[in-house]
A = this chain, B = another copy of it.
Amino acid sequence: MSTMTQAVPRAASGHPKLLSGKDAAAAVEEELIRDVAALKAAGIAPGLAVVRVGEDPASATYVRNKVLAAERVGMRSIHEHLPETTGQAALERAIETLNADPAVHGILCQLPLPPQLDPNRITRLIDPTKDVDCFHPYNVGLLSLGEPRFLPCTPAGILDLLQRGDIPVSGQRVVILGRSNIVGRPLALLLSHKGWDATVTLCHSRTRDLPQLTRQADILVAATGIAEWVTGDMVREGVVVIDVGMNRVEDATRKTGYRLCGDVHYASVAPKCAAITPVPGGVGPMTISMLLRNTVQAARLRLPA
């Protein structure tokens, strides 16, 4: 097995390279504007349907941002807003209507759902060829088998940031903190497949001697949901750090009473990094761009062969 080491050069200033998701998302949107225009020229106007149930304010914001982003790249968007008291059968009918609508290429149901609804049944009802969140078991299986139809949005955003940042991945040791079905696990699957060829260790709450593992990482991905949990003593010099976290911590010095931070203690970790994602403005902004990219991909599935 290969013994070649590829080191990421540190910036000459001693400051880490910033992997800006804001800049990358803007670049992806430029690409998507061209992709959408090309599809329209071929007779297919990509359409994204976002289903939201109830009045959760965070969900309302997420959905609004998705719809606005779709419009920015010239995509048709449908925002299906159902009342808080919607029953399972009514939600399933709404999904089935969208499944059958040839003008809808991508469908997502914003989670969480009110407690009377079963999110698993909804996820599995969405037509897998329109499943732009890549949550359907069939699509998760294709991903595991190394033949993904769609890439799950947050992992895809991380891959895009690594590529745009010229971060070598093949043969690198990647340590992922957090085994969720939305981030850690699909990212581990993707990075360990042929083409990416990283050596991945997936860590979680039962992992022991964690700092001994994180200090071996060439690339460390933090997706634990624990504010500023990765500290400088847990990483080696020259590491690349991807911080998926977005946490609110109390901060009396702010007008809002809180500040946003990631799962990484930036002040102690960043000085040791070759590259790091900021929070906010790192992984977060990429997620919606990847959702739109999947919708373009779903529309392409409808092109004549």
Contact = CB atoms under 8 A, between A and B. Distances in A.
Contact of A206 (B2, B5, B204): B2
Given A136-B141, A137-B141, A139-B141, A192 B204 contact: yes
A205 B2 CA distance: 7
B140 A207 contact: no
Interface string A177-191: 001010001101100
Number of copies: 2
Interface string A116-156: 00000000000000000000111111111110000000000
A125 to B, nearest CB: 13
B185 A144 contact: yes
A141 to B, nearest CB: 3
Interface residues of A, number: 40
A200 B202 contact: yes
B145 A208 contact: no
B206 A146 contact: no
A207 B199 contact: yes
A144 B152 CA distance: 13
Interface in A240-271: none
A100 interface: no
Nearest to A174: B201
A41 interface: no
A303 interface: no
A207 B141 contact: no
A171 interface: yes
B208 A204 contact: no
A213 interface: yes
Contacts of A3: 208-209
A37 B211 CA distance: 51
A210 interface: yes
A276 B86 CA distance: 56
Nearest to A207: B199
A231 interface: no
A190 to B, nearest CB: 12
Given A199-B202, A199-B208, 6 more contacts: A1-B206, A137-B139, A137-B145, A144-B189, A179-B193, A201-B201
